Amino acid sequence: MTAAAAVPAKKHEEASEAFMLGRLALVPDLSGALWLPEERTLVVADLHLEKGSAYAARGVMLPPYDSAATIAALAGAVRRHQPARVIALGDSFHDRDAENRLAPEMRAALGALQQGRDWLWITGNHDPAISRAMGGESAAEIMLAGVTLRHEPTASEDGYEIAGHLHPAAKVRMRGRAIRRRCFALSARRCVMPAMGAYAGGLNLRDAVFRPLFRTGLSAHLLGDGRLFRIDPRLLLPD
pLDDT in tens, 70-117: 999 999 999 999 999 999 999 999 999 999 999 999 999 999 999 999
- 29, HSE (Cβ side, Cα atoms, 13 Å): 25
Q: Going by DSSP bridges, is the β-strand pair 190-192/203-204 parallel, antiparallel, or unpaired?
A: unpaired
Instruction: Grade residue 52 by pLDDT with cuts at 50, 70 and 90.
Output: confident
Q: Kindly report the pTM of this predicted structure.
A: 0.90
pLDDT over 90 (residue 54): no
Name the nearest CA neighbour of 15 among 4, 3, 28, 24. 28
Mean pLDDT estimate for the chain: 90
Q: For position 71, what pLDDT does the model report?
A: 97
pLDDT over 60 (residue 234): yes
Q: For position 58, what pLDDT does the model report?
A: 74
pLDDT over 60 (residue 7): no
pLDDT over 50 (residue 196): yes
pLDDT over 90 (residue 135): yes
- Contact yes or no for 32/69 (Cβ under 8 A): no
Q: Rounded CA gap, 47 and 117, in Å?
A: 19
Instruction: Grade residue 2 by pLDDT with cuts at 50, 70 and 90.
Output: very low
Q: For position 11, what pLDDT does the model report?
A: 33
- Which contiguous run of DSSP H or E holds residue 80? helix 66-81
Instruction: Grade residue 4 by pLDDT with cuts at 50, 70 and 90.
Output: very low
